[in-house]
Amino acid sequence: MATICQPRRALVEIPAPQPKIAARMRRSYLEVLSARLAPSSQAQRGRNTAKNSKRGQSLDSSMGGSWNGRIEEHHTPLSKQQLVQLIRSLIMFEQSQEPRVLTLDLKYLHDDLQLKKTNVYRSIPYSRLGSNRDAHCYRKAYPHLVAFKVSCQEWGQVLLRNQEWDSVLEYVLMAWRFTSELPQWDTASHNTLREQCYNTLAGHCLSTLQHYRPEPSRRRELLRRLKMAQVHSQTIGPCVQQLERIVGNTADSSLGTQQNTQHCLSS
């Protein structure tokens, strides 16, 4: 029995090959879709490409004109005053974002100082053959040292404005310890920021002691800790003297009260 051969029918038509795109030219999704629905000429494609480029330029000029200026500004190095202003604005932003943390505890401020001290040491290159406390390493760590100094200033002023006297003293002692852990540089003038941190913290402490009279047990604890802080810098000396005067005046007043009580009982 002879077999009848029938020709096979194609299920899907293979489209005609499209012309190659010129080098370094890409078509958009809309152009590809329009080419499949209604093929257009190369001149029309060129006009669409030019129109898209003009539209992109108009968007850049309308929306990103000022932004391009900002990007160019970042390529220029910041001066010391601009750097301090930038860090101060960032800290002010942190204060506006976390207003409640200050009234709860000092853990947030502790973590902030710890992070800034860590950034100082991370910025120092340790793969150098020479000293890693020279001028080159100091320039690397300078922005982070400024950030640490501004934190000592701004957070202390916030606590003073809120009249959280005991928190100010705790913050001063905590920041004093972190300041003592900052690197000592080979050049004496490079340690100026460290001394400025000490002066700022001592000023916060002295301002607090002029308004705050802690409890007797708290006075003895603070006096002991301030004397220990005096080992790192003598800048805390006026604070120690002020607290000693407070302790002495309290002892004299209590002694006078006892004498008056005894005199009244004897009479």
Structure tokens at 74: 């970042």
Domain-by-domain residue ranges, the chain? 80-260
The reported pTM is 0.61
Query: Residue 149's pLDDT band (boundaries 50, 70, 90)?
Result: very high
Question: Which numeric CATH code is attached to 80-260?
Answer: 1.20.58.1590
As a whole number, the mean pLDDT across the chain is 75
Structure tokens at 101: 């943390």
Query: Residue 66's pLDDT band (boundaries 50, 70, 90)?
Result: very low
* Contact (CB, 8 A) for 175 and 152: yes
The Cα–Cα gap between 252 and 232 comes to 31
The Cα–Cα gap between 155 and 204 comes to 10
The Cα–Cα gap between 199 and 182 comes to 15
